[in-house]
A and B are shown apart, each in its own frame.
Chain A
């Protein structure tokens, strides 16, 4: 039982890394980017290719996944995302769904539709037991990395100059711009950071979630749950939302497998009805 909990936490941690970039970009530019999962997939495939073709070790492929996704994020933000900011949510949704479809079919064409696997180094394989709880080494590794990331993100968001500018821009982009904060540049950097984190999460998640061309579609709803439930105004909101989601998903799939993903969808709809602005949103309209 506690082993399942542990797995759920690891799963939630990966979801957090995948989704937190989306929550910030959504909060900052009010932009609904359903294509976020495509960046995660890109990171995953970069990691796979780096390990299989270039023979890089697993640890070295992780930063590569981050960099590749961040780079593509910057380029796309510049080229195609920017004209979309002023458009309606519906336009943005259609646009990013189009991007997702292109990414799915394109990956299928380039890499084939099969599931991708990676070989973890020996020191990350297997599991050990502490007080009767089976702990997978890789899951512990994931929790450690993602926990560190979460803490540093939270620190960056609340304690640094960049973070306070970001929060000001999220709260009111017009006033922030009026005060001389370069909102557009801030956003480009945040977008790249968020995409990079998604790429990193995609690479970390290969072992837990699998990786195939339909990844962005399959997990789109998970990211959206993280964002809509967690709210867009902090790091802690998405973090707890991701934890909740990871635990609910793993527990649900383990205890009542016949219901499948039903539980989390029902959970999301219920939460959105009770708290339309997110579970941890501050009291602002």
Chain B
């Protein structure tokens, strides 16, 4: 086969992978319709959208690039604090805050990527955990900037695009978060369906072979790590803006652990995993919290144990059967 024909075939395959499936349209229609159908649940829906964006971020590094991370909360917190501080001291415009949060977290991701790319899985787990803990301690220590344990209070947001004011019921908040999620999802979908995304999966499945076929492993991984960090930063910025409050909690370890559970529930390596997982997780949390508010942690632990013992692909497989095969190359990505 000639090189040109081969290239044409690869391009055709990529394009086929990027094609939209009917179920996907339905999914997003339902997400936007929820605004009208569930007017009393918008605050919860807003949380779901933010968590979904956060999970999308982890899916990019874990599901597609195979980088394990126990410290993803670092980027969430970075974005939240950056957006919150910008709103307090510079401008109250939400989109500027969003951009600022993404940029800050993305830069942090780029700066820490050399640390993460070294070593084995175990070292990565430790280093990402360490980075998140360092940020937590820093935010705790520099109380004059971050408000320390009291949190960053008094964030006032201007209307989105100068038109839509944030209200008590979360109407603007949900539509704003959902729109951001949708746009960033489109970007992520394009990225994983590109040759770049293909090379990431090659690295994940066999780093040695990928680098032998000319993929610059280190640079690709650094790029996707920074991208994912920016996504997490966006989630953090949304969180800060819609709740108008940032506390140390955004950097806490349980955020990273919760996020892992979200991806375990939804399945990693296909972008909808994070979204579906976020919905299931929040429903679960909400349901259990109304039954036994204090011991949520016990249940989350139990779910983690059961999911891992019972095989993580159970729900993942069921969901995938419903959603249909999103990406042709996303197959066997049940890591």
Q: Residues on A close to B: CB < 8 A?
A: 32, 80, 83-84, 87-91, 93-95, 97-106, 108-109, 217, 221, 224, 228, 258-262, 265-266, 268-269, 272-273, 276-277
- CB pair A266–B134 under 8 Å, yes or no, is yes
Which of B45-53, B75-83, B160-168, B303-311 is near enough to bind chain A? B303-311
Q: Which residues of B contact A98 (CB under 8 A)?
A: 300-305, 308
- CB pair B122–A95 under 8 Å, yes or no, is no
Indicate the member of A80, A89, A101, A258 with the most B CB atoms within 10 Å: A101
- CB pair A262–B141 under 8 Å, yes or no, is yes
- CB pair A265–B305 under 8 Å, yes or no, is no
Whether B68 is near chain A, meaning CB under 8 Å from some CB there, is yes
Whether B31 is near chain A, meaning CB under 8 Å from some CB there, is no
Q: Which residues of A contact B126 (CB under 8 A)?
A: 224, 228, 268, 272
Q: Mark B118-146, 1 if CB is under 8 A from A, else 0.
A: 11111101110111011001101100000
Q: Which residues of A contact B295 (CB under 8 A)?
A: 105, 108-109
Query: What 9 pairs across the A-B complex have the smallest Cβ distances?
Result: A98-B304, A101-B301, A105-B298, A102-B301, A276-B119, A98-B305, A105-B297, A262-B137, A95-B308
Name the CB-closest residue of A to B121: A89
Interface residues of B in 64-79 (CB under 8 A from A): 68, 70
Task: Report the bound CA distance from A102 to B257 in whole Å.
Answer: 13
Size bracket of the B interface: 35 or more
Task: Report the bound CA distance from A103 to B301 in whole Å.
Answer: 9
- CB pair B140–A260 under 8 Å, yes or no, is yes
Name the CB-closest residue of A to B305: A98
Q: Which residues of A contact B305 (CB under 8 A)?
A: 80, 95, 98-99, 102
Q: Which residues of B contact A95 (CB under 8 A)?
A: 304-305, 308-309
The verdict on A269 contacting B301 (CB below 8 Å), with A32-B125, A84-B308, A108-B295 known, is no
Q: Which residues of B contact A94 (CB under 8 A)?
A: 260-261, 264, 304, 307-308
18 A-B pairs with C-beta separation under 8 A: A84-B309, A89-B121, A90-B68, A95-B309, A98-B300, A98-B305, A101-B300, A102-B305, A105-B301, A108-B295, A108-B297, A221-B129, A262-B141, A268-B130, A269-B127, A269-B130, A276-B118, A276-B119
Whether B213 is near chain A, meaning CB under 8 Å from some CB there, is no
CB distance from B144 to the nearest CB of A (A): 11
Q: Which residues of A contact B138 (CB under 8 A)?
A: 262
Name the CB-closest residue of A to B140: A260
The verdict on A258 contacting B141 (CB below 8 Å), with A80-B305, A102-B301, A221-B133 known, is yes
Name the CB-closest residue of B to A229: B126
Query: Would you call the interface of chain A mostly helix, strand, loop, or mixed?
Result: helix
Report which of A83, A93, A273 forms a contact with B309, defined as CB distance below 8 A: A83
Q: Which residues of A contact B245 (CB under 8 A)?
A: none
Task: Report the bound CA distance from A277 to B118 in whole Å.
Answer: 11
- CB pair A104–B125 under 8 Å, yes or no, is no
- CB pair B137–A102 under 8 Å, yes or no, is no
Whether B284 is near chain A, meaning CB under 8 Å from some CB there, is no
- CB pair B141–A259 under 8 Å, yes or no, is yes
CB distance from B99 to the nearest CB of A (A): 29
CB distance from B56 to the nearest CB of A (A): 18
CB distance from B135 to the nearest CB of A (A): 9
Q: A32-B125, A259-B141 are in contact. List 18 more A-B contacts (CB 8 A).
A: A89-B122, A90-B335, A93-B125, A94-B264, A94-B304, A94-B308, A97-B260, A98-B308, A102-B297, A102-B302, A108-B295, A221-B129, A261-B137, A262-B141, A265-B130, A268-B130, A269-B115, A272-B119
Whether B312 is near chain A, meaning CB under 8 Å from some CB there, is yes
- CB pair A272–B298 under 8 Å, yes or no, is no
Q: Which residues of B contact A276 (CB under 8 A)?
A: 118-120, 123
Q: Which residues of A contact B68 (CB under 8 A)?
A: 89-90, 93
- CB pair B125–A89 under 8 Å, yes or no, is yes
CB distance from B50 to the nearest CB of A (A): 22
